[in-house]
Chains A and B, each alone.
Chain A
Amino acid sequence: MIEKFFTEAVLVGIIASGIRLATPYLYASIGETFGQRSGVLNLGVEGQMLLGAFAAFYVSLTTGNLWFGLLAAMLTGLIMGLGMAFVSINLQAVQGISGIGFYLFGLGLSDLLFQKLMGTVVTVSGFRPIYFPVLSDLPIVGQIFFNHNILVYGAYAMVFVAWFVLNKTTLGLKIKAVGESPEAADSLGVSVSKIRYLTISFGGMMSGIAGASLSIALLNVFQQNMTSGLGFIAVALVYFGGWRPIAVMGGALLFSMVNSLQLWVQVLNIPIPSDFAVMMPYVLTIIALVVTVQRVRPPSALTKPFERGH
């Protein structure tokens, strides 16, 4: 039975589709990583993604320009992120709850706008896979790495940008300082709220792009609740990666590849009940963490509002 997996088509399929499936998780998780590194937990990622997905889709549909759509998604995510930042920083609301509130808001509003502005499911011609001369035609490698659309590459690029910013720049240092010890950062003249505004609105923008990557690049449709829990998985992956962008990418790839593997399990008619196949990525993600026994601890100030003078 197991030998069915070791054919070229299957292995290439699993890896290529894993790389593709990881895209929305990557954008959202990297954005969330910045927020959490600066001490803010945003559970509203899913809502931001849904609104981003709708904005991208609707603007692309009406203007015929995918880049305008992408821009709309970024703006929408940014606005949602600013809202979350205002509520968490200025109003010091409990982050776990306000995130759930923003999730519900995004879930409802994206659906409402969809019903009022579009009314029915339609398709849009989204970003196409990029053709790289020579490279795309290579056997195996071409199919795995050189047959994706621009937003897929963008997601992986962002991982390395995030790694660089967090580890090699002063801004990264400030973000981490604000997340570890806001009092100390503040006494050194770093504005805690400015940094947090920056990271959370950036996170919102990234969630918006994550939504766009679904609605105008990977799926090219919009439907109510189309993210279907993806945003929560993205938050979980931040913990999987221990707040380190490269490790977050590892988690996203693991989760997505196991997900595409379980699809193959069913397609190859391997006699496992489909329910157990669907379970696989969730189970394996936990097992992977158990086996590797991590020693990271969360940013000390995570979920704690900061107020000067206390």
Chain B
Amino acid sequence: MEKWLRSESVSKLADALLPVFAALAALAVGALMLLVLGANPFEAFGALLDGAFGSANSLADTVVKATPLLLIGLGICISFRGNVINIGGEGQMIIGALLATALGLAFPDWPGIVMIPLAMLAGFVGGAFWGGIPGALKAYFNVNEILSTIMMNAIAVQLMNFLLSGPMIDPVQAAKASQIPQTARLSTSFDLPRLIPTRLHLGAGIAVLLAILVYILLWRTTIGYRIRAVGQNRFASRYAGIDVKRQIVLALLLSGAFAGLAGAIQVFGINHRMITDGSATGFTGNAGFNGIVAALFGQLNPIGTIPAAFFFGALLVGANKLQRVMQVPSALITTINGLVVVFVVSSEKWRKTREQKRLTDMMAEIDGDPPPNPEKAVKEVGS
């Protein structure tokens, strides 16, 4: 290694910028692809940044996009810390949204100040229910949660399709021959307050606040302690007198609850009605998966997930703008997104190795003994 890199502050700075370099490397590959497609990469990435941050509107779009990622990411922090893998964010988001919407439609005359908190609670409960099922199945029937959450996603989509084309359909649509599967618009008094004049709504604030609460929950309460203990060592926890099965259910239940809340916020903050195109993505925008990526980029730390979700939201929003300005196929954007994810997640190893080495050097200077491996515990949890 070069001598100047030995200097600790330079070395730390390099570490801090590593994900940026990784993302840039991925974008460089993307630039090559743009060249092949005959587009100017500089112009393209200018458009990406402009789309994500260029104006109040685009910045608002970025935050709006990041909000469900953050909420779902918070749930992921809880479940992954409990060593339970929740791939069911898509379904939980849908069920939460359905329950909140049903409540909003059932009582259109209630004042917003009453309905909005209740609807958020309904979303929370709906998601908790849909997440709790795989939790209970795992705890009491040993049904693997990866399997059940994938299946529950598909079930939730069909449930949504059924409800929106039947029991919950907009009466206006029901009278028509084409019957677009959507609910009526929710009363305007239920709209989440907006930070005028953009699409930015209260949901982002709720999400950030919850991030802090989840941090406290995980590291400052016994509930959080138990979940993490079970996540680190199930057998030791059992000997320590923790009801392991209950923690597993709780971890998935809470995880689902946040996804459900994300769904409710999406409806009350942005869409103001539910509508389906037959797939999950049309409503969730893939937040159930992107939220996992955000949480893991945030090192499964609720506070770290905030900027990670923002970064990912910016990438998604900016990429759409790139597509519009450059008129390249949207498939290119998906490809580049994939590269960014792979590159950034792959760069972690260097950061860890270098951190370890710095620590070793420091310890060696102090007393000559090699230090214990500080990353080992984190690595186990990250699985």
Contact residues of A with B, CB < 8 Å? 47, 83, 87, 91-98, 100-109, 111-112, 114-116, 224, 229, 232-233, 235-237, 239-240, 273, 275-276, 278-279, 282-283, 285-286, 289-290, 293-296, 298, 302-305, 310
> Contacts of A239 on B, CB cut-off 8 Å?
144, 146-147
Residue B176 at the chain A interface, CB threshold 8 Å: no
CB atoms of A107 and B334 under 8 A apart: yes
Residue B172 at the chain A interface, CB threshold 8 Å: no
Residue B371 at the chain A interface, CB threshold 8 Å: no
Residue B293 at the chain A interface, CB threshold 8 Å: yes
In the complex the two chains form, what is the Cα distance from A195 to B335 in whole Å? Answer: 29
Which of these, A83, A115, A290, A303, contacts B331 with CB under 8 Å?
A115
Residue B217 at the chain A interface, CB threshold 8 Å: no
Residue B221 at the chain A interface, CB threshold 8 Å: no
CB atoms of B162 and A273 under 8 A apart: yes
Also in contact, A98 and B158, with CB within 8 A (given A93-B349, A107-B334, A240-B147): no
As a 0/1 sequence over residues 135 to 175 of chain B, the CB contacts with chain A under 8 angstroms (1 = contact) are: 00100011110111011101100110110011000000000
Which of these, A95, A101, A229, A275, contacts B341 with CB under 8 Å?
A101
In the complex the two chains form, what is the Cα distance from A240 to B148 in whole Å? Answer: 9
In the complex, the 3 A-B pairs of residues with the closest C-beta atoms, listed nearest first: A108-B334, A105-B338, A108-B335
CB atoms of A101 and B342 under 8 A apart: yes
Which of these, B85, B148, B162, contacts A275 with CB under 8 Å?
B162
Residue B7 at the chain A interface, CB threshold 8 Å: no
CB atoms of A101 and B345 under 8 A apart: yes
CB proximity to A under 8 Å, residues B286-334:
289, 292-293, 296-297, 329, 331-334
Which of these, B141, B334, B380, B382, contacts A111 with CB under 8 Å?
B334
Show 5 A/B contacts (Cβ-Cβ < 8 Å), sorted by A.
Answer: A87-B345, A93-B349, A232-B87, A273-B166, A290-B141
CB atoms of A298 and B333 under 8 A apart: no
CB atoms of B339 and A94 under 8 A apart: no
CB atoms of B158 and A275 under 8 A apart: yes
> Contacts of B347 on A, CB cut-off 8 Å?
91
In the complex the two chains form, what is the Cα distance from A233 to B150 in whole Å? Answer: 7
Residue B379 at the chain A interface, CB threshold 8 Å: yes
Which of these, B147, B293, B332, B376, contacts A97 with CB under 8 Å?
B293
Residue B337 at the chain A interface, CB threshold 8 Å: yes
A109 shortest CB reach to chain B, Å: 5
> Contacts of A103 on B, CB cut-off 8 Å?
338
The residue on A at minimum CB distance from B299 is A94
> Contacts of B142 on A, CB cut-off 8 Å?
293-296
In the complex the two chains form, what is the Cα distance from A219 to B155 in whole Å? Answer: 25
A-B contacts, CB under 8 A, total: 157
Contact residues of B with A, CB < 8 Å? 33, 37, 85, 87, 137, 141-144, 146-148, 150-152, 154-155, 158-159, 161-162, 165-166, 289, 292-293, 296-297, 329, 331-342, 345-349, 373, 376, 379-380, 382-383
Which of these, A91, A94, A276, contacts B296 with CB under 8 Å?
A94
CB atoms of B166 and A279 under 8 A apart: no
> Contacts of B382 on A, CB cut-off 8 Å?
94
Which of these, B37, B87, B154, B165, contacts A279 with CB under 8 Å?
B154
> Contacts of A278 on B, CB cut-off 8 Å?
158
CB atoms of A91 and B293 under 8 A apart: no
Also in contact, A108 and B337, with CB within 8 A (given A98-B346, A286-B137): yes
> Contacts of B144 on A, CB cut-off 8 Å?
239-240, 289, 298
> Contacts of A302 on B, CB cut-off 8 Å?
383
In the complex the two chains form, what is the Cα distance from A235 to B338 in whole Å? Answer: 19
> Contacts of A286 on B, CB cut-off 8 Å?
137, 143, 147-148, 151-152
In the complex the two chains form, what is the Cα distance from A298 to B138 in whole Å? Answer: 13
> Contacts of B348 on A, CB cut-off 8 Å?
91-94
CB atoms of A105 and B342 under 8 A apart: yes
Q: Of residues A107, A108, A233, A235, which shows the largest number of chain B Cβ atoms within 10 Å of its Cβ?
A: A108
In the complex the two chains form, what is the Cα distance from A239 to B134 in whole Å? Answer: 14
> Contacts of B329 on A, CB cut-off 8 Å?
111-112, 115-116
Also in contact, A102 and B342, with CB within 8 A (given A235-B150, A236-B151, A289-B143): yes
CB atoms of A100 and B379 under 8 A apart: no
Can you name 13 extra interface pairs (CB under 8 A) apart from A47-B338, A101-B338? Answer: A93-B346, A93-B348, A105-B338, A108-B334, A112-B33, A112-B329, A235-B150, A275-B162, A279-B154, A279-B158, A294-B143, A295-B142, A310-B376
Also in contact, A282 and B346, with CB within 8 A (given A236-B147, A289-B147, A290-B143): no
> Contacts of B345 on A, CB cut-off 8 Å?
87, 93-94, 97-98, 101
The residue on A at minimum CB distance from B151 is A282
In the complex the two chains form, what is the Cα distance from A298 to B85 in whole Å? Answer: 13
CB atoms of B346 and A304 under 8 A apart: no
> Contacts of B162 on A, CB cut-off 8 Å?
273, 275-276
Which of these, A47, A83, A279, A303, contacts B383 with CB under 8 Å?
A303
CB atoms of A283 and B155 under 8 A apart: yes
The residue on A at minimum CB distance from B350 is A91
Also in contact, A100 and B292, with CB within 8 A (given A235-B146, A235-B150, A286-B148): yes
In the complex the two chains form, what is the Cα distance from A76 to B167 in whole Å? Answer: 46
The residue on A at minimum CB distance from B329 is A115
CB atoms of B346 and A87 under 8 A apart: yes
Also in contact, A97 and B331, with CB within 8 A (given A304-B379, A304-B380, A305-B379): no
The residue on B at minimum CB distance from A43 is B87
The residue on B at minimum CB distance from A110 is B331
The residue on A at minimum CB distance from B150 is A236
In the complex the two chains form, what is the Cα distance from A298 to B331 in whole Å? Answer: 35
> Contacts of B338 on A, CB cut-off 8 Å?
47, 101-109
> Contacts of B296 on A, CB cut-off 8 Å?
94, 96-97
In the complex the two chains form, what is the Cα distance from A218 to B334 in whole Å? Answer: 27
CB atoms of A97 and B151 under 8 A apart: no
In the complex the two chains form, what is the Cα distance from A282 to B280 in whole Å? Answer: 15
In the complex the two chains form, what is the Cα distance from A111 to B329 in whole Å? Answer: 9
CB atoms of A236 and B292 under 8 A apart: no
> Contacts of B289 on A, CB cut-off 8 Å?
100
B282 shortest CB reach to chain A, Å: 13
In the complex the two chains form, what is the Cα distance from A96 to B292 in whole Å? Answer: 9
> Contacts of A296 on B, CB cut-off 8 Å?
142
B359 shortest CB reach to chain A, Å: 14
